[in-house]
Amino acid sequence: MSSDKSNQLLIREAIRKIALGRSMERINLAPGGMSGIGTARMIHGYVAKIHDDPSDEEFSDYGGTIDVGEYPDETASAEPVIHKGVLLSAATNSEGGFLIVPVLFSDVTIFMDAATRYAYVVNFSHVDILRLNARTETVIGVTEMEELDPESDSSPDYDELEATGNETSTRYTPTAVTTTVRNDKDKEAASVIDAESITHTVDKSEVRQTADKVVQKVNSTTVAVADNKVTLGDENATEPLVLGNELARLMLDFLTECSKIMTPTLMGTMSPINMPNFISLTSRIQNFLSKTSYTK
């Protein structure tokens, strides 16, 4: 019985060493009585494989995870150590939520429980995909703070530093995206996007786009563009404007026809006496047309 029990212990210890691999050395080196520190490892390695191909034979077992190879150190074995199925941010798949996918062969740090062999990525050097998919709101921003003076005993701590006034932020909700930029001179620019409109605002100017209209406004001056209609001055304007080039050509044609008028006299039909004025006016209209901008 004693011999059988001894053999069982040897077999169990051998299986334990095979299962834990290099974890055995870490566990043996770790101090005891520290809330299980001996059962956890922090491993530095590289991304050996990303399981994102459904046609791969390993995808059914490891889909949504990565394989991590350990960098050799003073306890390294002769063969490379590959940890398969390392979870990305504790997620077992890539459907929704928070997800970070590292670049193949980039540096990563993983945390692994030596007993259960579960491993999670905790740090990345390079990332292919970074996704934040919240259910209610996501805010990303930068707020500039006053510099900390490490030489002064009276300098505020980092959490007490005053804001300089320069800040940017983008707020995502299920229905809209709002981007705001402010500076220390109390100037602000904002952009709001929802499913039916896009609005850009800078101080007293505004551009608003919908499916059927684009309106540009500065103070009370407005230019609105809609289907088959352009309004100036106010988007509700109803009085039509005569296009400058069309009016000039109409005047030119009118003067040309007037210059052809013949007046009957005792000496027969003659051109009007003010004929030189028609020629002068025609020249002025031609000069006006040369300064006109044309649109199609």
User: Distance between CA atoms of 189 and 175, rounded to whole angstroms?
Assistant: 20
Check residue 6 and give its pLDDT: 72
pTM: 0.66
Beta strand residue intervals within 195-252, DSSP E: 197-202, 205-210, 213-218, 221-226, 229-232
Q: Domain residues of the chain, as ranges?
A: 40-132, 138-226, 243-292
Say if residue 37's pLDDT is above 70: no
As given in the structure block, the two tokens for residue 189 are 């620019």
**Closest among 295, 280, 278, 281 to 248, alpha carbons compared:** 281
Say if residue 121's pLDDT is above 80: yes
Q: Give pLDDT tens digits for 106-119.
A: 999 998 876 667 88
Name the phi and psi angles at 170, rounded to 5: -130, 125
Instruction: Tell me the pLDDT band of 21, cut-offs 50, 70 and 90.
Output: low
Say if residue 53's pLDDT is above 60: yes
H or E element at residue 239: none
Mean pLDDT, rounded, for 177-192:
97
Mean pLDDT, rounded, for 118-130:
90
251-288 residues labelled b (16+ CB within 10 A) or e (exposed): ebeebeeebeeeeeeeeeeeeeeeeeebeebeeebeee
Check residue 207 and give its pLDDT: 97
Q: Residue 50 forms beta bridges with which residues?
A: 66
Mean pLDDT, rounded, for 119-141:
91
- Note every long-range contact of 208-212, with CB atoms under 8 Å and residues 24 or more positions apart, other chains counting: none
C-alpha radius of gyration, the chain, whole number? 39
User: Distance between CA atoms of 194 and 255, rounded to whole angstroms?
Assistant: 54
Mean pLDDT, rounded, for 30-50:
69
- Range with the poorest average pLDDT among 131-135, 139-143, 185-189, 256-260: 256-260
Say if residue 26's pLDDT is above 60: no
Q: Helix axis angle, 244-259 relative to 275-290, nearest 10°?
A: 160
Q: Residue 179 forms beta bridges with which residues?
A: 170, 191
User: Distance between CA atoms of 271 and 263, rounded to whole angstroms?
Assistant: 6
Instruction: Tell me the pLDDT band of 10, cut-offs 50, 70 and 90.
Output: confident
Q: Give pLDDT tens digits for 219-246.
A: 988 989 888 888 888 777 776 666 676 6
Mean pLDDT, rounded, for 30-47:
65
Mean pLDDT, rounded, for 25-30:
56
130 three-class SS = strand
Q: Give pLDDT tens digits for 259-280.
A: 776 666 656 666 666 667 767 7
Between 61 and 79, the more confident residue is 61
Q: State the pairing for strand pair 176-182/188-194.
A: antiparallel
Give the whole-number percent of the chain exceeding pLDDT 70: 72
Check residue 150 and give its pLDDT: 83
**Closest among 162, 182, 172, 185 to 132, alpha carbons compared:** 172
Check residue 155 and give its pLDDT: 80
